[in-house]
């Protein structure tokens, strides 16, 4: 069944399922990268702050 | 950010929402093009300021400025999603295009904004964190929510938000704010109206349709062109002030004078041109102008070397630049 949407009078077609999975995957990968980046960031800041530099 | 059906707010949006967003849509919420200019001017403030901030902490400061600016952009897009849907220039943004749930966009912006301020405060210093919080707050509450839909002076006063980043960079490096970063603030503050009014000149139909009282919509094309010219004329001596106060050498002085003259020339072309072509050129040139001006500040300092010395020439009226 088509699940197209209308927003502000504009027709937004539902993307095909593989496309939605691709988008969700890209979000998950980006979130993983952000979390990893935060780990590295806090590690580096801690080293600098407590390293007496 | 799940694929489940979500309830969202009003403002012309459906009562149910299936999140179709990708990572690129969240990145677009950060207004990356605006962010690049903010990061660059923030870096210039950081580079010019006296101090000995560790390079890692300097990088963290820049990251916080970038993320803070992006957060403000995301909250702006959340609030303005109704008018963005009407305007041709913005209707394909992730929110009006229906790819991101408005609540998720707001949460994204608020989380990033708080995170950027907290990390700036913990890793760099409290002055920079306070200025970053002030910038985000000013952009969201003063510009976006208060001024933008109410007055043609929206971008004149709201322009302060875009002018803060060099001051934040300066405060991150030195831990304080002196006359020099205030001068950098003043330059961007004065540059903002002709920059945005050039855009508004050739997008006035869009703004009118969306009910945003930009100057060309409210006061007409002629008065807007006159204001662009007046601001350009006012900007020319202002960009010479750092040279006159001894902050920079001849390289900056000559380049700033040439750029100032070109900016006025651009405004004169806009004044005489009956079409939108000059306004489009002026808008593009204004971005290049700011990039070049701040680049030459860095280049001049690299040639002269070191942070600004506290000479008598730099302490007019006893206030050291």
Residues B279-290 pLDDT 10s: 999 999 999 999
- Across-strand partners of A5? A12
> Both B210 and B319 in a single domain?
yes
Q: In the predicted model, what is the mean pLDDT of residues B170-177?
A: 96
Q: State how far the alpha carbon of B21 is from the alpha carbons of A28, B24, B27, B69, in Å.
A: 11, 8, 10, 21
pLDDT at B162 over 70: yes
Is B212 in contact with B90 (CB distance < 8 Å)?
A: no
Which of B118, B149, B177 finishes a domain? B177
Q: What is the pTM of this model?
A: 0.86
Residues B189 and B101 in one domain: no
**Final residue belonging to a domain, choices B124, B145, B177:** B177
Residue pairs spanning A and B at CB distance below 8 A: 62
pLDDT of residue B22: 86
What's the farthest any 2 CA atoms get from each other in chain A? 63
My answer on whether B23 and B156 are in the same domain is: yes
Q: How many domains does chain B have?
A: 2
Distance from CA of B85 to the nearest CA of A (A): 7
Cβ–Cβ under 8 Å, residues B247 and B179: no
Question: Are residues B162 and B204 part of one domain?
Answer: no
Say what the pLDDT of residue A24 is.
87
* Residue B151 structural domain: 1-177
Q: Which residues of B touch A44 (CB under 8 A)?
A: 56, 60
**Using 50, 70 and 90 to split pLDDT, how confident is the model at B311?**
very low
A14 or B119, which is more confident = B119
Q: Is B172 in the same domain as B285? A: no
Which CATH number do you get for residue B272?
1.20.120.1780
Q: Are residues B139 and B227 in the same domain?
A: no
Mutate to test the interface with A, among B22, B26, B105 (most CBs of A within 10 A): B22
Q: Are residues B173 and B222 in the same domain?
A: no
Indicate which CATH number applies to the domain containing B91. 1.10.357.140
Angle at B233 between CA B229 and CA B234, to 5 degrees: 115
Query: Which residues are within 8 A (CB) of B267 and not within 5 positions of it... i.e. 6 or more apart?
Result: B194, B225, B228, B229, B231, B232, B233, B282
pLDDT in tens, B233-252: 999 999 999 999 999 999 99
**Dihedrals phi, psi of B234, to nearest 5 degrees:** -70, -30
pLDDT band at residue A51 using 50, 70 and 90 as cut-offs: confident
**B44-96: per-residue pLDDT in tens?**
999 999 999 999 999 999 999 999 999 999 999 999 999 999 999 899 999 99
Across residues B148-153, what is the average pLDDT?
94
The residues, ordered by sequence, that sit 6+ positions from B231 with a Cβ below 8 Å of its Cβ are B190, B191, B193, B194, B267
Q: What is the pLDDT of residues B2-44, one digit of tens each?
A: 343 333 344 544 445 666 788 999 999 999 999 999 999 999 9
On whether any CB of chain A is under 8 Å from the CB of B227, the answer is: no
Q: Looking at this predicted complex, what is its ipTM?
A: 0.75
Pair (B169, B192) in one structural domain = no
Mind telling me how many Å the CA of A36 is from chain B's nearest CA?
Answer: 15
Lowest mean pLDDT among B217-226, B267-276, B278-287, B308-317: B308-317
């Amino acid at each position: 069944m088509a699940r197209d949407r209308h927003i502000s009078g504009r027709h937004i077609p539902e993307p095909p399922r593989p496309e939605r999975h691709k988008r969700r995957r890209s979000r998950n990968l980006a979130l993983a990268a952000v979390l990893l980046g935060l780990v590295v960031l806090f590690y580096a800041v801690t080293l600098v702050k407590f390293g007496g530099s | 950010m799940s694929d489940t059906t979500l309830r969202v707010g009003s403002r012309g949006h459906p009562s149910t929402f299936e999140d179709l967003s990708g990572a690129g849509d969240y990145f677009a919420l950060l207004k990356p093009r605006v962010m690049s200019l903010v990061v660059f001017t923030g870096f210039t403030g950081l580079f010019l300021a006296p101090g000995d901030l560790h390079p890692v902490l300097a990088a963290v400061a820049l990251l916080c400025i970038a993320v803070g600016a992006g957060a403000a952009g995301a909250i702006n897009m959340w609030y303005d999603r109704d008018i963005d849907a009407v305007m041709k220039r913005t209707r394909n943004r992730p929110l009006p295009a229906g790819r991101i749930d408005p609540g998720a966009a707001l949460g994204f912006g608020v989380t990033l904004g708080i995170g950027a301020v907290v990390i700036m405060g913990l890793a760099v210093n409290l002055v920079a964190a306070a200025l970053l919080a002030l910038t985000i707050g000013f952009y969201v509450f003063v510009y976006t929510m208060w001024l933008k839909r109410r007055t043609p002076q929206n971008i004149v006063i709201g322009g302060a938000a875009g002018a803060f980043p060099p001051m934040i960079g300066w405060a991150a490096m030195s831990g304080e704010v002196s006359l020099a970063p205030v001068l950098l603030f003043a330059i961007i503050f004065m540059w903002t109206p002709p920059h945005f009014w050039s855009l508004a000149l050739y997008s006035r139909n869009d703004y009118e349709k969306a009910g945003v009282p930009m100057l060309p919509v409210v006061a007409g094309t002629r008065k807007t062109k006159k204001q662009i010219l007046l601001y350009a004329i006012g900007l020319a001596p202002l960009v010479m002030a750092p040279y006159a106060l001894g902050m920079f050498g001849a390289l900056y002085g000559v380049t700033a004078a040439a750029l100032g003259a070109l900016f006025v020339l651009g405004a004169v072309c806009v004044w005489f041109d009956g079409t939108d072509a000059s306004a489009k050129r002026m808008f593009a040139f204004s971005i290049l102008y700011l990039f070049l001006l701040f680049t030459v500040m860095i280049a001049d300092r690299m040639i002269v070397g070191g942070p600004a010395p506290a000479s008598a020439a730099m302490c007019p009226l006893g206030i050291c630049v």
